[in-house]
Structure 1
Amino acid sequence: LSAAPAPTPAGSPAGRAGAEVSDGNSLPIGTRLAEFELTRTLGEGGFGIVYLAMDHSLQRKVALKEYMPSQLASRGAGTSVSVRAERYRDTFEAGLKSFINEARLLAQFDHPALVKVYRFWEANGTAYMVMPFYEGHTLKDTLKALPGPPDEAWLRGLLTPLSEALKVIHTEQCFHRDIAPDNIILLGGAHTRPLLLDFGAARRVISDMTQALTVILKPGYAPLEQYAEVPHMKQGPWTDIYALAAVVYFAITGRTPPASVGRMMSDTYVPLRQSAAGRYSDGFLSAIDQALSVRPEERPQSVAQLIAQLDLPAPAALPALPMDDTSDDDRTIIRPVRPAVTKFASPGSPIAAPHAAPSGVPSTQPAAERSTADSQSKPSRAPLFAGLGALTLVALGVAAYLALAPAPAKRNIAEPDVSPASVALPAPPPSAVAPQIAAPTIAPAQVSTIDPSTEFDRILAGQSPGFKVDVAAKKTRLRIGVDRLSFTVHSEQDGYYHVLALGPDGTLIQLMPNATLTQHRIKRGETLTLPGAAMPMEASAPAGTEQLLVVVSAMPRDLSALKIGSDSGLTELAVGSRAAALLADGASRNPAYLGRVVCPSNTTCTETYGAARLTFDIVP
């Protein structure tokens, strides 16, 4: 089957009826919107579309963002946008208003660490904003590519412009509320100037009005007050301060802090002044620890107070940092949407000598574990299915915590115009790893490198007789930024399900269990639909074939020996020679990604399991 040719959009150049048309709601290449000609679709999400465009008035490339909430609206004739049904109109209009307000605010701000808006306007039933076309790399990618944690001077150089940018927006009673390493990019030839991205105001308004479970609250970066609307726990400057401190924590340790919702019940946070002592000054670590306090009133109450506690220097460019791989010919293009993760180094961008933290005290994570690739491995990426976070209500848990706590002192801070959605309370951590019994007879793989696809084959070949597992999906062709992952699992035995995702670039992610979805039991004869409403997962770049391996085991299994990182509650596992090195001291005949059984005390362990594989085609 082939699609009929798209009609020429109103205002597009003559003779461009056959212009390239992207899947989804994006406009055809060549469309003209005022003086801007669309030359490429950069990204299409659930709330907007970003295009690369040529500004024919000033003869420059720009990024043009169109308000397009795909759940509420559809593309009409030409360039027009219309609501899908009248019942969606109020929500659509509220999101449109928020989109315009965000553009208006950004247009007023003038700071090198904030996105600049050149122009915004309403037309065709929607709205647009035009911004610079930024080229650089996310802070997340930058940190992953380092051989070790950056030193204190570099972190201070990062914090200074970001803190000053937050002071600017906080002065207007505007709060970012989504600060994270993937929302900060480093610009310039040596990637030394930080830029804060993605306020996402329209997304929050729509999600608040529809109670749609699509707001992205990043576990570890979102403070407690973002999880529930409570009268005496307002959001304010301290909300962004928590997230900014969490970014520093990630830079130092290579992992996100414990989720704030879990910390309110059982705080497992280990202060940086203990875990990173000797590598950074005590005053610096203590200030970050305080900014990560669970209770808002215990954090610095303004960015100015944080700057004073950190004794930050005057704004200056960051020193260049070394990457593990400087031979890559690909370049990551960053724009004001969540970009796909690609290799870090770019041609023409030489990287200077390392600025690693002092090694007098062992790092909380070995340098080998912070590298994103070895000589035989492909680079790390974000999970192909981007976890949108657990978004069911935790009002009871938060209310119980707050009922026992005194109300903080009143502050003359304006309340944010939007309340983000709440999320599910993480369950307690799994029990300790118990001794193993004999594993199924599986031929050991005597190799110096571990290939996930081959290991998947071994897992499927070694499953226990009578432990049948079936997996199925109604839709196996998923569009990036549009379709969500959904599949069913049926087991003929009681057990615990584990789901691994092998992406087109060779990155291996443990999708389930995770920091949010800790309860992963399945009963005999039961059919589960996963991931479920608590943690929707949307297809994201890169395009290609994605393998899902589902293992149902009589006992929970632990793959922590292969863990090399985590983000948004999902665990990345080592592959290739790196995986082989991590398992070099083990003599288990089990396939590498089957893991070790985890049993409660006084329980006989068994390694019986069943498994099935499912393949998805991820397309633009």
Structure 2
Amino acid sequence: MSEPGHVPDVPGQLPEGDRTVIVSIARGGANPSQQATAAAGGHNTLPPGTRLGEFEIVGLIGEGGFGIVYLAYDTSLGRHVALKEYMPSALAARVSATEVQVKSERHESTFRAGLKSFINEARILAQFDHHSLVKVYRFWEANGTAYMVMPYYKGVTLKEALKAMGAPPDERWLRTLLVPVLDALSVLHAANCYHRDIAPDNIILLEGSGRPVLLDFGAARRVIGDMTQALTVILKPGYAPIEQYAEVPTLRQGAWSDQYALAAVVYFAIVGKTPPPSVGRMVSDNYQPLGKLAAGRYSERFLRAIDRALAVMPADRPQTVQQFAAELGIALDGPPQHAGRHSDTSGVLSRPGNDSSAAPARKRVVWASAAAVMLAAAGVGAWWLHERVPTPARSSAQSTAAPGSSSTLALRTPNTASANRVEPPVASSAPGNQSASSSVRRQPPSSSLPPFTASGELARIAALADPEIQVKVDLPVPRAVVNRDKLRFSLTSNRAGYVFVFVVDPADQYLLLFPNELDHENQIAPGKRLVLPRPSWPMLAGEPLGANHFVAIVSLAPRDFSALGLTHDSVFASLPRAAQEAAAAQRSPTWSPFAGAAQCSEAGSPCPQQYGAVTFKIDVVKSSK
């Protein structure tokens, strides 16, 4: 047995250029044992020295919510490998040295479906042999779970490489990257298999050669996400095409889906940020074409091909890899070789069908009303997005409709919120009053700052507001029940202004709920009622349970919150924990950086800084009892 973290010095191990790390923890100069022990494992990880057949665990490479990747030593062939274990931590736990067991019976079917897809993914990848597709050497079931063994790759992700460059790569560099990736996709697509998760952190550039390899098909992750309605775990906003947000017959997934994601990767490399989320573009397309943004720096043909592959509707994109490559001016080497057609992989890699190569129908009618609902990658408290569409459809969240009824799409956001009980910032309302108002008399701010909490800062924003700007929130019911009640509240103000609504969920996730990528119209007229959420983005209460704190701000001028460090990777901008702490350090007794700063477009003209604000709290409950 090896000592923990020790890598046996065995002759015949793979050459340095052919050993890479499956996840992005490898750094130049680190040896395998240092790389493997760089990530601290959780209580479900196997300790170094554990034997699984002929493989001995050396250390941890990476751990996610659905699997664990280890550095292992193949004692039969004398080489290091990456060994991936199926371990959905929300559904199962380690019950002995190696045994995995489902936590409860209600998780059994979901766990088994994920296990099946994990094995099917390994079986399919084992049949491919392409230098830019991750290779599976072996897979098997044991100990209540399953494992797959892959090459131990060393390199950096494309995301890391682009960050290290400091400037956008030139067209030649991008073409060199795209040739092997497109060739790999042609092999996949010829077998009716689709990656469906192409992103800069899922492409690794091998040390030495720089050759790109597509990683992490995430089959089990998708199936579990589908069954639990947690689309936030399977979609990457900016890279995910619209057809991945729900299964609609007229918007099927196919080769065009991977081409959208790959084009988004190129867009990110050139611009430094992703294209707007496709779901938001269905409602209001504010996509800035590369043909304008990068004109003169890249060939017109190259930019035009990327812009076309990023069309919102699948039918408007190139339908095959070969067509996409031709539009880019890239020649692929001959007809793709593949391992034959695969009939079923639990809806994961394979999407076979009688018309799998046909262009999707050019229809926007259903999605004009339904797309606004699909904010699944957004991240706002315990709310699901809820909408009825005119024809039955099965969403990625596995929602179903009875024959003859309209279909309900309920796509989940990362966290949750619900219930409608008012809690004014300082003074409380009379018993039974279900409204909150900023017109109550506020206490003067204390000369000393209280310890920072995300929800407490919302109350401070309201306490520091101008009492002359009276904002009132009305809520229809005192609380909301999971899977039944929708989020609904209304705002009124005695002054015209711009509305901003922030929410802090039970896990202290800090989000800008309104305005958002789907709804930028945030002006309010004096005495006029603004009802939120608007019909284009309804939200249904979901788990987890707990208190969700809101602040509604009405500012006399538009406000800029960019200094906070908000991230805009999804429909709703979020404020990471580190950014919260950095902003909290700048607070003063009379000022909160979380309130943003007024920003007027006309230079030299007075810009009013005043705002009114009111807080309220919504609790998510299991039932109305």
Instruction: Give the alignment's TM-score, normalised by structure 1.
Output: 0.57
Q: 1:183 aligns with which of 184, 195, 202?
A: 202
Alignment partner, residue 569 of structure 2: 567
Deviates more, 1:210-219 or 1:195-204: 210-219
Change in 2 beyond 3 A, CA 1:568/1:43: farther
8 Å CA contact retained: 1:113, 1:161 = yes
The percent of aligned pairs where both chains have the same amino acid is 54
8 Å CA contact retained: 1:213, 1:421 = no
Aligned partner of residue 287 in structure 1, secondary structure: helix
Alignment partner, residue 150 of structure 2: 131
Q: 1:287 aligns with which of 305, 310, 316?
A: 305
Aligned partner of residue 121 in structure 2, secondary structure: helix
Change in 2 beyond 3 A, CA 1:152/1:173: same
8 Å CA contact retained: 1:228, 1:395 = no
Change in 2 beyond 3 A, CA 1:274/1:37: same
Distance 1:148 1:500 in 2: 35
Q: Which structure 2 residues correspond to residues 74-473 of structure 1 after superposition, within 5 A? A: 74-189=93-208, 192-313=210-331, 392-393=384-385, 396=388, 422=411, 464-465=463-464
* Bigger Cα Rg: 2
Distance 2:211 2:267 in 1: 20
Alignment partner, residue 558 of structure 1: 560
Aligned partner of residue 240 in structure 2, secondary structure: coil
Change in 2 beyond 3 A, CA 1:278/1:599: closer
Q: Give the letter for the 1:161 counterpart.
A: P
| Displacement of 1:299 | 0.7
| Displacement of 1:232 | 2.1
Distance 1:88 1:39 in 2: 31
| Displacement of 1:127 | 0.5
Distance 1:394 1:112 in 2: 43
Aligned partner of residue 567 in structure 1, secondary structure: coil
Distance 1:248 1:139 in 2: 11
8 Å CA contact retained: 2:68, 2:86 = yes
Distance 1:295 1:398 in 2: 19
- Residue 67 (structure 1) aligned with residue 67 (structure 2): no
Aligned partner of residue 239 in structure 1, secondary structure: helix
| Displacement of 1:517 | 9.2
Alignment partner, residue 606 of structure 1: 610
| Displacement of 1:310 | 0.7
Count matched residues. 428
Structure 1 segments (4+ residues) deviating >6 Å: 386-391, 397-401, 457-463, 516-521, 532-537, 549-552, 561-565, 570-576, 589-593, 598-601
Q: Deviations over 1:37-60 (max 9, x none)?
A: 212222222211111222222222
Aligned partner of residue 102 in structure 1, secondary structure: helix
Distance 1:283 1:177 in 2: 26
Distance 1:558 1:285 in 2: 32
Change in 2 beyond 3 A, CA 1:564/1:395: closer
Q: Deviations over 1:308-353 (max 9, x none)?
A: 11111568xxxxxxxxxxxxxxxxxxxxxxxxxxxxxxxxxxxxxx
Aligned partner of residue 129 in structure 1, secondary structure: strand
Aligned partner of residue 226 in structure 2, secondary structure: helix
Change in 2 beyond 3 A, CA 1:264/1:275: same
Change in 2 beyond 3 A, CA 1:100/1:253: same
| Displacement of 1:240 | 0.6
Distance 1:536 1:195 in 2: 37
| Displacement of 1:397 | 6.7
Q: Deviations over 1:477-524 (max 9, x none)?
A: xxxxxxxxxxxxxxxx998554799xxxxxxx9753585697999x9x
8 Å CA contact retained: 2:380, 2:513 = no
5+ residue gaps in structure 2?
1-36, 334-376, 394-408, 414-443, 446-451, 468-491, 494-498, 524-528, 530-538, 583-589, 616-625
8 Å CA contact retained: 1:387, 1:536 = no
Change in 2 beyond 3 A, CA 1:299/1:61: same
Aligned partner of residue 113 in structure 1, secondary structure: coil
Change in 2 beyond 3 A, CA 1:550/1:252: farther
Distance 1:280 1:389 in 2: 38
Alignment partner, residue 420 of structure 2: none
| Displacement of 1:85 | 2.7
Distance 2:457 2:310 in 1: 44
Distance 2:131 2:591 in 1: 53
Distance 2:305 2:613 in 1: 48
Q: Deviations over 1:508-559 (max 9, x none)?
A: x9753585697999x9xxxxxxxx998999xxxxxxxxxxx99875547422
8 Å CA contact retained: 1:464, 1:608 = no
8 Å CA contact retained: 2:199, 2:261 = yes
Aligned partner of residue 110 in structure 1, secondary structure: coil
Q: Deviations over 1:371-393 (max 9, x none)?
A: xxxxxxxxxxxxxxx97689945
Q: Give the letter for the 1:567 counterpart.
A: D
Change in 2 beyond 3 A, CA 1:213/1:149: closer
Distance 1:66 1:605 in 2: 55
Q: Give the letter for the 1:201 counterpart.
A: A
Distance 1:398 1:242 in 2: 27
Distance 1:300 1:152 in 2: 20
Distance 1:112 1:179 in 2: 17
Distance 2:228 2:178 in 1: 36
Q: Deviations over 1:433-458 (max 9, x none)?
A: xxxxxxxx99xxxxxxxxxx9xxx99
Alignment partner, residue 45 of structure 1: 64
Q: Give the letter for the 1:74 counterpart.
A: A
Change in 2 beyond 3 A, CA 1:280/1:299: same
Aligned partner of residue 284 in structure 1, secondary structure: helix
8 Å CA contact retained: 1:224, 1:261 = yes
8 Å CA contact retained: 1:207, 1:421 = no
Distance 1:161 1:172 in 2: 17
Alignment partner, residue 44 of structure 2: 25
8 Å CA contact retained: 2:62, 2:68 = yes
Distance 1:551 1:389 in 2: 14
Q: Deviations over 1:592-613 (max 9, x none)?
A: 6653237999x986246799xx
Larger RCO: 1 or 2 (CA < 8 Å, sep 6+): 1
8 Å CA contact retained: 2:155, 2:205 = yes
Distance 1:247 1:144 in 2: 13
Q: Give the letter for the 2:111 counterpart.
A: F
Change in 2 beyond 3 A, CA 1:21/1:222: closer
Alignment partner, residue 596 of structure 2: 595
| Displacement of 1:224 | 1.2
Distance 1:91 1:550 in 2: 34
